[in-house]
């Protein structure tokens, strides 16, 4: 069985309002449930019940709970890039790192589900999609390096570091995590290579 997920397109204005409400309820239900138990233990029936939609309705919107999680990931990635992009453009790497750490900390359960609990396949797909979106919203911060390489490195390193952080619970706060991200990822990207 092919489990390849596709990230959803933005809905057109002609989409029925009921569809938008059902999809939003399913997203909200999964986000809430991710704070209560590991993603791997969640069932489609639980998600549908929490969303107050029928079991069959779930499958009209998403082929699997992983596809729903991928849909949530798309929105989170776009939100993160929207927060960090302007700061990275101004090479405010510490501020960008702090925004990112606070963003993840405020959404810790769903970020944990995405980067730790959903498994390697979905994590790879999320990483690929995040790299694509970062490349589309590219920020010119390092001269002389291929943009694609910068996206692959910065997104891959950032997501791996965040996953490491999420696996450790609350032992490292967002401010300390921001310093780590800035030191290992963002500050080196803003440095100009020696000629």
Task: Report, as an integer, the average pLDDT of 14-43.
Answer: 87
Which has the higher per-residue pLDDT, 174 or 120?
174
Could you give phi then psi for residue 25, rounded to 5 degrees? -65, -40
Task: Report, as an integer, the average pLDDT of 148-160.
Answer: 86
Tens of pLDDT, residues 31-88: 899 888 888 889 999 999 999 999 999 999 999 999 998 898 888 888 888 877 777 6
Q: What is the pTM of this model?
A: 0.76
Residue 139 clears pLDDT 70, i.e. is over it: no
Residue range 17-62 forms a domain whose CATH class is: mainly alpha
Which has the higher per-residue pLDDT, 98 or 16?
98
Amino acid 90: pLDDT: 64
Amino acid 112: pLDDT: 87
Which has the higher per-residue pLDDT, 47 or 153?
47
Q: Where are the domains of the chain?
A: 17-62, 66-190
């Amino acid at each position: 069985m092919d489990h390849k997920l596709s990230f959803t397109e933005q809905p057109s204005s002609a989409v029925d309002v009921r569809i938008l409400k059902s999809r939003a309820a399913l997203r909200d239900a999964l986000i809430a449930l991710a704070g209560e138990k590991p993603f791997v233990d969640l069932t489609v029936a639980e998600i549908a019940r929490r969303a107050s939609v029928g079991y069959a309705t779930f499958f009209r919107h998403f082929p699997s709970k992983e596809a729903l999680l991928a849909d949530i990931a798309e929105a989170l990635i776009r939100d993160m890039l929207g927060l960090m992009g302007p700061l990275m453009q101004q090479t405010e790497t510490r501020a960008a790192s702090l925004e990112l750490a606070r963003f993840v900390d405020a959404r810790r359960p769903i970020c944990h589900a995405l980067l730790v609990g959903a498994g390697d396949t979905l994590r790879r797909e999320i990483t690929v999609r995040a790299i694509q979106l970062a490349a589309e919203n590219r920020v010119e911060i390092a001269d002389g390096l291929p943009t694609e390489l910068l996206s692959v490195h910065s997104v891959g390193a950032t997501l791996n570091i965040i996953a490491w952080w999420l696996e450790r619970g609350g032992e490292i706060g967002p401010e300390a995590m921001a310093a780590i991200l800035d030191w290992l990822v963002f500050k080196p990207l803003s440095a100009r290579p020696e000629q």
